[in-house]
Each structure stands twice: as structure tokens, then as C-alpha cells.
Amino acid sequence: MEEKFKMWKNFLLPYKFALDELKTKVNIMVEETKYMEETSLIEHVKTRLKTPDSIMTKLERKGMKPTVANASENLFDIAGMRIVTPFKSDVYQLYNLMMNRTDLKIVEVKDYIRFPKSNGYQSLHLIVKVPVTLSKGIEHIFVEVQIRTLAMDFWASLEHKIYYKYEASIPAYLEKGLKEAADTVKELDDKMKLIHDEVEGLHTSKVISIHVKEDEGGRKR
């Protein structure tokens, strides 16, 4: 049993390193954008690593033997990262930044924002290959990345709790309520972005006006 635990622990170590690497890269992208554009792309980042038990359970559910080899070849969500952004446009800006990096490779994209799931779920899902330098060489590790707004994250958190409370058999009236809430989330995201842009526009106009007045004052002198 101890030998089996050690085997899984060794297997999961590169996935932990991949999450550390990716988090550092995301922070660099965000800080650079904040410096250049004076805007923050993210609210927070969460990471998670599946346990050996959850990996084996998933493999068995897929009809495979719960081995390290099968996990490595068939599971792409052993390491996961969730990035929560203020606005929908930030989701795609961050996605574009990740696409343009030479030290990351996006191998799969599922856009549940433009094409929500039937229950209303919205998020941008990516499978990213992250290079990790180990003593034995470079390994390319898969990490599942979910990028979504604060409002989408709140909805997904509630849906997750309900899903497990009812063991995936959600009553029809709750399903209907969740779908209506998902529509409200979309409206809220769009409305808050409009308000944000309007405030930013007013601020920019005010700054330009102040600079013009200062320039005119200087010419008078």
C-alpha cells in the first residue's frame, strides 16, 4: 500500500510543478497588462490537483484500469486552474495572451460562453500544455484551465452544490431556476461592462480636459 501511495505521489509531482509554473506565467501576463494598460484582468486564481482516489475513480468510470499509465494518457484535468475575471472581455484578452506565448501550447478550447451548456453553464475551458523542467529532462504536462467572470463563477458554484446535493438528479423547478439565473448572469455581465466603460470614458474625458486647460494656461503665461 505504501509503495502504491509513493508511486501516485511521484506521478502527481510534475502536475503540481505545472500548476506552479502556469500560475507564475499568468501573474506575469496580468502584471504586464496592469502596467501597460492600467487595468487588472483577474480577480483571483484557484488551483487544484486531483487525488489518487479521484483519478482512479474517474478511470474506472471510463471503463479503464486505474493505472498511472492510463491516467497519464487519458486524463487531461488532473491539474486544474480556475481564473476569475471582472468582465467577459477580460476572459478573451487573457486567452489571447496565453495563445501568444511561446512557452505554452493550447491544445483544446471549449467556449461555453459563446455557446453555453443546456443548463446555462458559462466558462471558457482550455487544455494547456505546460513545459516543466525536471532533473530527468523537460516534461509537457496537461493542465485544464477554466476562465470565467465573477458572475459566472458565482452561478457555477451554486450549481455545483445543488448538483451534488441531489446526486446529479436535480428537480425540474430548480433546473428551470438555474437556467433563468444563468440568463440573468449574462445580462448582468453585459450591463456591468457597459457601466464600467462609461465610467472609464468619463474619466478619460476629464483627464484630457484638465490637460488642455493646463496647456492653455501655460500659453497665456
Dihedrals phi, psi of 138, to nearest 5 degrees: -95, 130
Catalytic entry in 144, 167, 175, 200: 144
Could you give the CA distance from residue 41 to residue 33 in angstroms, rounded to a whole number? 8
Look-up: residue for cell 501597460?
A: 36
87: closest CA among 175, 2, 153, 173?
A: 153
**Active site includes 144?**
yes
Cα separation, 64 vs 176, in Å, equals 35
Q: Which helix (H) or strand (E) holds 148?
A: strand 137-149
The Cα–Cα gap between 19 and 77 comes to: 12
Closest C-alpha among 61, 37, 183, 167 to residue 121: 183
Where b means 16+ CB within 10 Å and e means fewer, 170-192 reads: beeeebeebeebbeebbebbeeb
* DSSP secondary structure code for residue 38 in this structure: S
What DSSP designation does 168 have? T
Active site residues: 144
